[in-house]
Amino acid sequence: MTKPWGQMLMVGIPGLHLDEVARTLIRDLQVGGIILFKRNISHPQQVAELIDACQQTALAASGYPLLVAVDQEGGPVQRFRHPWLETPSARQMGAAGDLAAIEHSAQRVAQELQLMGVNVNLAPVLDVARNPDCPLWERSYSADPEAVVRCGLAAVRGYLAGGVLPVVKHFPGLGATRLDSHLDLPTVEGGTDAGNEDLFPFREAITAGIPAVMCAHLLVPSWDSNLPTSLSPVAVTRILRQHLKFFGLIFSDDLEMGAITRKWPVPEAARRAVAAGIDIILICEQIENVKKTLAALSQSPELESRLRSAWQRIQQYKKTLPQLRLNLEAIQARFASGH
């Protein structure tokens, strides 16, 4: 049996259509998922046709459907904009405090995503941003951890009701940081342990049964003085899996972000992420990094057990995915009616 480690990779693709690079990633490398950005989005029919072409290619090549993800948080981070539904930032919705409105909005967003063929939303944000200097300020519901839990779980309920997998982020919380992990590796201020206000929303959300978590590129010295959360066995396996008893899917943040690449080449970071306990690795830009990462994983017999357990967890989830069919009439009707 060919080792199916490409299933652990969620990757970016270049453009608006299934080009040769995208075919190589999906057909030849058999990646498990794709993530969409502005470069992939023009209008509803184009997005739906792109995703359908990617799914058909994946099913023909491996028999496994793709996880198709997007960051559709609202406010400053929503890849789909007009004519798609646009929603306020988490900070605005948290300030209003209307949980029914948050849930309803999330459900409507999810219904549009599912209509396109998107089945994963990398949202909601559960970071507790206490200071406007925090890069997550507008993306965070509140400076109050309990308000973050209430709002975040309302969004989770809405996304699930609308038919997409919500991935809460960024464990264990970037709310007490001032560095942007897209550029450099932030260090948590004041330490982090299982009782503090950053971790509180994740602990409560796990208790409530959330299905997926994304790990931050964040150095927590009280846990691991050398490795960020996304690469740390202490953070991912000992704390998230064993202490907090989270048994769903664990995503890394993009391994091509500055927080990682300033110190580790992407393939080495991916090996460390797998060893730490990450299930799904994001590589959002360079196909060469995807190729090198897959080669590195395939040549790492010491990771075989970890890779196989992650693969089994991913496939177990994929078995629950609905078999979505391209429905251009429904898409035209949805967007002709406006919002």
Options 52, 224, 253, 254, the catalytic residue = 253
Residue 85: inside a domain: yes
Per-residue buried b or exposed e for 211-246, using 16+ beta carbons within 10 Å of the residue's own CB: bbbbbbbbbbeebbeebbbbbbbbbbbbbbeeebeb
The pLDDT assigned to 54 comes to 97
**Which 3 state secondary structure label does DSSP give 214?**
strand
Give the CATH number, domain containing residue 80: 3.20.20.300
From residue 82, give the alpha-carbon distance in Å to each of 24, 61, 335, 338: 31, 34, 10, 10
Residue 337: inside a domain: no
Q: Which residues contact 169 (CB under 8 A, 6 or more apart)?
A: 122, 123, 124, 125, 126, 127, 213, 214, 216, 251, 253
Looking at the DSSP assignment, which residues form a beta bridge with residue 34? Answer: 11, 68
The pLDDT assigned to 188 comes to 85
From residue 6, give the alpha-carbon distance in Å to each of 9, 24, 166, 200, 269: 5, 12, 22, 33, 16
* Number of domains present in the structure of the chain: 1
Enter the DSSP assignment of 165: E
165-166 and 9-12 beta bridge pairing: unpaired
> Does 253 participate in catalysis according to the annotation?
yes
Options 182, 184, 193, 339, the catalytic residue = 182
Residue 334: inside a domain: no
> Does 182 participate in catalysis according to the annotation?
yes
The model's pLDDT over 81-115, given as tens digits with 9 standing for 90+, comes to 999 999 999 999 999 999 999 999 999 999 999 99
The pLDDT assigned to 192 comes to 53
Q: How many residues would you count in the chain?
A: 339
Residue 339: inside a domain: no
Structural element, H or E, at residue 50: helix 44-62
The model's pLDDT over 319-331, given as tens digits with 9 standing for 90+, comes to 988 777 889 999 9
pTM for this predicted structure: 0.96
Q: What is the mean pLDDT of residues 228-248?
A: 97
Mean pLDDT value across the chain: 94
Residue 336: inside a domain: no
The structure tokens 């219904």 sit at 111
The model's pLDDT over 191-228, given as tens digits with 9 standing for 90+, comes to 555 458 899 999 999 999 999 999 999 999 999 999 99
Inter-residue contact 321 to 65 (CB < 8 Å)? yes
Using a pLDDT cut of 90, give the percent of the chain over it. Answer: 88
Q: Which domain holds residue 98?
A: 5-329
